Amino acid sequence: MNSLLSIKDLHVSFGLGLETVDAVRGINLEIARGEIVGIVGESGSGKSASMLSVMRLLATTATTRGTVHFAGKELFSASSKEMRGIRGGKIGMIFQDPMTSLNPSFRIGSQIAEAIIRHQHVSTKIAVSKATDLLEVVSIPRPSESMSLFPHEMSGGMKQRVMIAMAIANDPELLIADEPTTALDVTIQAQILEVLKGLRETRNLSIVIITHDLGVVAGLADSVNVMYAGEIVESGDVEGVFYKATHPYSRGLLSCVPRLDIRESALHPIGGDPPKLSEKTPGCSFQPRCKNAIDLCETTSPTLRSSTVTGLKVSCHNPMEPSPQMSESI
């Protein structure tokens, strides 16, 4: 087994008053060293919850089930002390909300240096010099002067770069990036994506990137997982998912986005809304919106299996034919 991260049958539920929200419903995920894995899916599908649970950073109202092995170590049974060493050490994380990881009242230089000292036990002088180098790595202009800025003195794109610098400060093996470019303008997004690609190249860093932007995944990821209502409904290598997907939700997702390079195409909305995660249904959770549904879909929930046709894993009783148009160039 040479996976760096191996998630098995992960479940996450939140207690909300009398209700239970089943946010993640049994996902499996393997991430190899140096691999960039994309997780896509609509808002509320459990992308953040699944990765926060790996880091054991979920709210106390959450209950988690399953196993997570990181570099051979099971994380759910690790001690809090061990977790503190792993978080921000071997696993770096960029959060969806930048202000959760930057403290507004400290200069960014000292925040990065402190993160280095916490894990590497080096002198302040060495930590400061490492922090300055990191700002250079993430392309912050005039790194030594920028060390003394406060977060509010920086633009969104600059803050995002500082967050990346913090996340990689201790030379992690895995970077979990939750919507790292969503709040940014496209020209800044392009800069950040270059930084991430560079890190994989130079450090053989593994990256999990959570995003709702299929274009970002198309350009960056080696493999893609499509999530719907807490489950992975289709997964495989990036070209497979983009050109040969057969799950009706993946296909819906791919054909509802307008493309920069095509004008005339009509959009095909999926229609309907995602299910309430507090309500349990016996069948496939996409069934109420699915145009391909058969009787079985209403009563029995499908499981993720390898498709001999596409080489992808798909969770569907009645997958679609691979689209000849999508797979034309393969």
Partner 1 sequence: MAAQVMGGPLVQVRDLVKTFAGRGTVLRKSKSQVQAVAGVSFDVLAGETLSIVGESGCGKSTTARCVTRILKPTSGSVVLFGTEISQSSQETIRPLRRQFQMVFQDPYASLNSTMTVEEIISEPLIVHGFPALEIKERVLAVVQQMHLHKSDLTRFPHQFSGGQRQRIGIARAVVMQPKFVVLDEPVSALDVSIQADIIQMLEGLQESLGLAFLMIAHDLSVVRHVSDRVAVMYLGKIVEIGTNKQIYEQSSHPYTQALLAAAPIPDPRVERARQRIILKGDVPSPANPPSGCRFRTRCFKVQDICSQVEPLLIDPGVGHQVACHFPEEINLITKRRV
Ligand X SMILES: Nc1ncnc2c1ncn2[C@@H]1O[C@H](COP(=O)(O)OP(=O)(O)OP(=O)(O)O)[C@@H](O)[C@H]1O
* Measured distance CA(85)–CA(80) in Å, rounded: 9
**DSSP code at position 277:** T
Both tokens assigned to 152: 């509010």
* Per-residue contact flags (x/-) with partner 1 for residues 146 to 185, judged by CB under 8 A: -------x-xxxx--------------------------x
DSSP states of 293-316 as a string? --HHHHHS----EE-TTTSSEE--
* 34 near ligand X, judged by CB under 6 A: no
- Give the binding range for partner 1 (CB under 8 A) out of 19-27, 119-127, 266-274, 299-307: 266-274
Q: From the list 16, 219, 280, 309, which residue makes contact with partner 1 (rule: CB under 8 A)?
A: 219
Closest of 205, 227, 172 to residue 51, by C-alpha? 227
* 217 near partner 1, judged by CB under 8 A: yes
* 249 near ligand X, judged by CB under 6 A: no
Nearer residue to ligand X within complex by CB, 35 or 231: 231
Q: From the list 18, 263, 321, 324, which residue makes contact with partner 1 (rule: CB under 8 A)?
A: 263
Both tokens assigned to 134: 């990191």
Residue with tokens 């969806």, as numbered in its chain: 96
- Give the binding range for Mg ion (CB under 5 A) out of 16-24, 48-56, 131-139, 306-314: 48-56
* Measured distance CA(4)–CA(71) in Å, rounded: 5
Amino acid, single-letter form, for residue 114: E
Residue 321 interacts with, from partner 1, ligand X, Mg ion, none (CB under 5-8 Å by kind): none
Greatest C-alpha distance within the chain: 67
Nearer residue to partner 1 within complex by CB, 129 or 255: 255
Radius of gyration (C-alpha) of the chain in whole angstroms: 21
CB 233 within 8 A of CB 319: no
Site for ligand X in 87-106 (CB under 6 A): 96
Taking the complex as a whole, how short is the minimal distance between the CB of residue 270 and ligand X, in angstroms? 16
Q: From the list 6, 13, 45, 48, which residue makes contact with Mg ion (rule: CB under 5 A)?
A: 48
User: Phi first, then psi: what are they for 155, rounded to 5°?
Assistant: -75, 170
SS3 state at 289: helix
* Measured distance CA(261)–CA(84) in Å, rounded: 46
Nearer residue to ligand X within complex by CB, 190 or 309: 190
**DSSP code at position 329:** T
* 136 near partner 1, judged by CB under 8 A: no
Nearer residue to partner 1 within complex by CB, 14 or 249: 249
Taking the complex as a whole, how short is the minimal distance between the CB of residue 318 and partner 1, in angstroms? 20
Q: Point out which residues bind partner 1 (CB under 8 A).
A: 42-43, 141, 153, 155-158, 185-191, 194, 212-219, 238-239, 242-243, 252-254, 256-263, 265, 267-271, 273, 328-329
